């Protein structure tokens, strides 16, 4: 079954890098960004999500790697 | 030139910053005003922001200031949203680069309507953890099935 796009459902156009709790949902156990196939979000939101995660990583809000 | 035209040329930016934890808490307002001054001097206007609070970082970050090297795993995290002409942003960035109190900063363009705050996120998380009992009662009352009416047998 196709997963629902969380950002489309909640009408979130801009994915904020500070919203760590939401971003964490789209990371794998190794803290890598989930693929679109796994996350189920639309391609425009997946790009926004990747950018937000990378910004959050830079500021130390999210890890780059987890062992 | 009208003010509406002036506004059209302006871009909304956001600075997310980390202040070194070695800075005493009472001097944090000075650091914030130092950051605010950098864009206000260039003609910028503050739109929104949150005061820095101590935040545990996801990984160790180091910064070299002169001969001293700081290696930290927590820092004061804050952000400021402001409006400024695009031509003046390079000067702001150059000045922030020189600010020794800042461990790291992120200077980005943001849409005006972006309204996420850490305070709201914390409140939402707390609400999720322990929902207010008043709502629970009213919700229970609404969903409670009505007592079955006894059939009248004549």
Instruction: Between B137 and B61, name the one with better pLDDT.
Output: B61
Cβ of B61 and A60 within 8 Å?
A: yes
pLDDT, averaged across chain B: 85
Of A19, A58, A61, the CB nearest to B116: A19
Q: Which helix (H) or strand (E) holds B9?
A: helix B3-9
Question: ipTM of this model?
Answer: 0.90
Q: Which helix (H) or strand (E) holds A54?
A: helix A43-58
Of A14, A57, A62, the CB nearest to B111: A14
**CATH at residue A13:** 4.10.640.10
**Chain B residues in contact with A63 (beta carbon < 8 A):** 58-59
Residue B154 lies inside a defined structural domain of this protein: no
DSSP string, B39-59: HHHTT-EEEEEEEEEEEEEEE
Residue B1 pLDDT > 60: no
Residues above pLDDT 70, as percent of chain B: 81
Cβ of B118 and A63 within 8 Å?
A: no
Q: Which helix (H) or strand (E) holds B13?
A: strand B10-19
Residue B46 lies inside a defined structural domain of this protein: yes
Token pair in block for residue B60: 């160790």
Of A21, A59, A64, the CB nearest to B16: A59
**Chain B residues in contact with A57 (beta carbon < 8 A):** 58
Residue B138 pLDDT > 90: no
Domain residues for the domain of A50 are 6-58
Residue A63 lies inside a defined structural domain of this protein: no
Residue B131 lies inside a defined structural domain of this protein: no
Residue B99 lies inside a defined structural domain of this protein: yes
Residue A29 lies inside a defined structural domain of this protein: yes
Which residues are CB-contacts of A19 (< 8 A; sequence separation ≥ 6)?
Answer: A52, B116, B121
Q: Which of A52, A64, A58, A32 is nearest to B18 (CA)?
A: A58
Tell me how close the Cα of B87 comes to any Cα of chain A, in angstroms.
Answer: 23
Say what the pLDDT of residue B153 is: 54
Token pair in block for residue B37: 């001054």
d(CA B95, CA B98): 5
Q: Which helix (H) or strand (E) holds B79?
A: strand B68-85
Instruction: Between B138 and B41, name the one with better pLDDT.
Output: B41
**For range A53-57, the mean pLDDT:** 97
Residue A22 lies inside a defined structural domain of this protein: yes
Cβ of B116 and A64 within 8 Å?
A: no
Q: Which of A34-43, B2-11, B34-43 has the lowest mean pLDDT?
A: B2-11
**CATH at residue B17:** 3.30.70.60
Residue B143 pLDDT > 60: no
Based on the number of CB atoms within 10 Å of its own CB, is B40 exposed (0-12), middle (13-18) or buried (19 or more)? middle
Model pTM score: 0.83
Say what the pLDDT of residue B9 is: 79
**For range B116-124, the mean pLDDT:** 88
Domain count, chain A: 1
d(CA B42, CA B87): 10
**Chain A residues in contact with B58 (beta carbon < 8 A):** 57, 60-63
CB B13 within 8 A of CB B109: yes
Domain residues for the domain of B88 are 3-111
Tell me how close the Cα of A8 comes to any Cα of chain B, in angstroms.
Answer: 16
Which residues are CB-contacts of B49 (< 8 A; sequence separation ≥ 6)?
Answer: B78, B79, B80, B81
DSSP B88: G
Residue A1 lies inside a defined structural domain of this protein: no
Does the CB of A58 have a partner CB in chain B at under 8 Å?
Answer: yes
* Chain A interface disruption, residue of B113, B116, B117, most A CBs within 10 A: B116
Domain count, chain B: 1
Does the CB of A6 have a partner CB in chain B at under 8 Å?
Answer: no
**For range A42-66, the mean pLDDT:** 96
Question: In which band, very low, low, confident or very high, does the pLDDT at B50 lie, cut at 50, 70 and 90?
Answer: very high
> For helices B28-41 and B89-98, what crossing angle results, to 10°?
150
């Amino acid at each position: 079954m196709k997963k629902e796009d969380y950002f489309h459902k909640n009408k979130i156009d801009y994915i904020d890098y500070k919203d760590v709790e939401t971003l964490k949902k789209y990371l794998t156990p190794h803290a890598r960004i989930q693929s679109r196939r796994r996350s189920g979000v639309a391609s425009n939101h997946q790009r926004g999500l990747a950018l937000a995660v990378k910004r959050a990583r830079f500021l130390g809000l999210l890890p780059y790697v987890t062992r | 030139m009208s003010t509406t035209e002036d506004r059209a040329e302006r871009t909304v930016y956001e600075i997310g910053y980390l202040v070194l934890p070695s800075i005493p808490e009472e001097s944090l307002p000075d650091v914030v005003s130092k950051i605010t001054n950098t864009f206000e001097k260039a003609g910028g206007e503050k739109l929104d922001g949150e005061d820095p609070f101590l935040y545990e970082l996801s990984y160790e970050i180091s910064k070299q200031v002169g001969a001293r090297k700081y290696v930290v795993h927590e820092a004061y995290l804050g952000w400021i949203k402001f409006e400024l002409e695009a031509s003046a942003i390079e000067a702001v960035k150059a000045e922030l680069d020189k600010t020794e109190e800042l461990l790291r900063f992120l200077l980005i363009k943001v849409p005006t309507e972006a309204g996420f705050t850490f305070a709201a996120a914390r409140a939402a998380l707390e609400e999720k953890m322990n929902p207010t009992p008043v709502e629970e009662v009213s919700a229970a009352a609404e969903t409670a099935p009505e007592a079955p009416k006894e059939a009248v047998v004549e």
